[in-house]
Amino acid sequence: MIERYTLPKMGQIWQDGHKFRQMLEVELLVCEAQSRQGQIPKQALANIKQKAQVDLVRIQEIEKETRHDIIAFVRQVSSGLGKYSRYFHCGLTSNDLLDTVLALNLKQAAKLLIEDAHKLLITLAKRAREHKHTICVGRTHGIHAEPITFGLKLALFYDEMKRNLGRLQDAQEVISYGKISGAVGTYAHLTPSIEAYVCKKLGLKPPGIATQVIPRDRHAQFMLSLALVGSSLERFALEIRHLQRSEVAEAFEPFSKNQKGSSAMPHKRNPVVCEQICGLARVLRGNAQAALENIALWHERDISHSSVERIIIPDSSILLDYMLEKVNWIVENMQVYPEKMKENLKQGRGLIFSQRLLLALMEKGLSRTESYDLVQRLAFSVWETNLNFKDVLINAAQIKKHLTRQEIESCFDEGHYLRYVDNIFKQVGLG
């Protein structure tokens, strides 16, 4: 992943040096398990532990000749072990290292993502409570619908992020499986007890059964989880983008003192970070599709998945880490304009209360069809005049036959739509 989107902690997980150091840790644990079973002399184990070192530059040099990174790693480490090198990587296949280390990396990456999600939930809870009763217009199809509160918008995203946290926790669980079962997963040269020992030491679990690789449905589930979380972040970012439009101007992503919006138009304040989030979510979904295609491999394994995973797994982990951090920053620092929300609420001249009129007429005995057609006809007439919907209704003979002025006016009570806000907040854990 390019440096632009890479945060330090997540970037460290996917560096080659970190990968090979973890491979050495796996190899040493295998030697330790073999020694416990009497397959490696204690003196050999002590020597291997003392002298085994990772030299990334030398590994890269050897790989240019071998065109095989694991052979390069084994040769580099073995070169410093002398006569005891014959015990190093004994009975293992490349993917015993690759898949086990990948599981470690993904578990570590998931831990960071889970921490990011927790942080975002805390920020969302704070801002949602702040705007619990900040009334604004709700929109469906981009058109004014009925009153809502800005806090409810944030509470909805909070509830969705709780599900996303669960997805990340499930993803961490499903990927935390190592493999030390040999060339085709039969334990022909290593016992299941060695695999169990190594996995336990690493905080992983044995897969139960594998081929030369851990089945890629696990990795696909992990990647799909990341794509789902990314799509949720996109939904929130898209909401802010809409609310920041000039004709809406209800909420804005942060804009720093010296930030510029356009090289040509000094007045511009564009929602560039929200647009960035929407774009990066597409990358996560594309990578998830590639992960799905990695599930089907030839027989006990081919290598078609490997080149793909070298790109999509680090990239998606790094991107989602970045996206979660940025969305948290947006939520924490976004500017909200309650007065503009009230202004926009009144922009429709009372049309957003049409359903209450519909129901009031039905309570008086009119059929739903009669009530709907009558209210719709009067509502549409508002667009052809400069009148307020309430005034149109008060002066409409068809309405006065069924509703008093007081009954009409009661239908325009904004407070009616806020009666259950507190209950909703309690339901999602924000009470």
Known catalytic residues are 141, 262
Closest CA to 392 of 359, 348, 426: 348
d(C-alpha 138, C-alpha 256), whole Å = 29
Residue 336 in 3-state DSSP? strand
DSSP-assigned letters across all residues of 244-258: HSTTT-SEE----TT
Closest CA to 25 of 236, 147, 202: 202
Where b means 16+ CB within 10 Å and e means fewer, 342-358 reads bebbeebbbbbbbebbb
For every residue of 12-70, which 3-state class applies, written as one string? HHCCHHHHHHHHHHHHHHHHHHHHHCCCCCHHHHHHHHHHCCCCHHHHHHHHHHHCCHH
d(C-alpha 402, C-alpha 57), whole Å = 87
Phi, psi of 53 (to 5 degrees): -140, 150
β-pairing, 335-336 with 143-149? unpaired
Closest CA to 230 of 153, 154, 279, 284: 284
d(C-alpha 205, C-alpha 201), whole Å = 10
Question: How is residue 94 written in tokens?
Answer: 């490349």
Phi, psi of 136 (to 5 degrees): -150, 175
Question: How is residue 229 written in tokens?
Answer: 């979380």
Question: In whole angstroms, how large is the CA radius of gyration of the chain?
Answer: 30
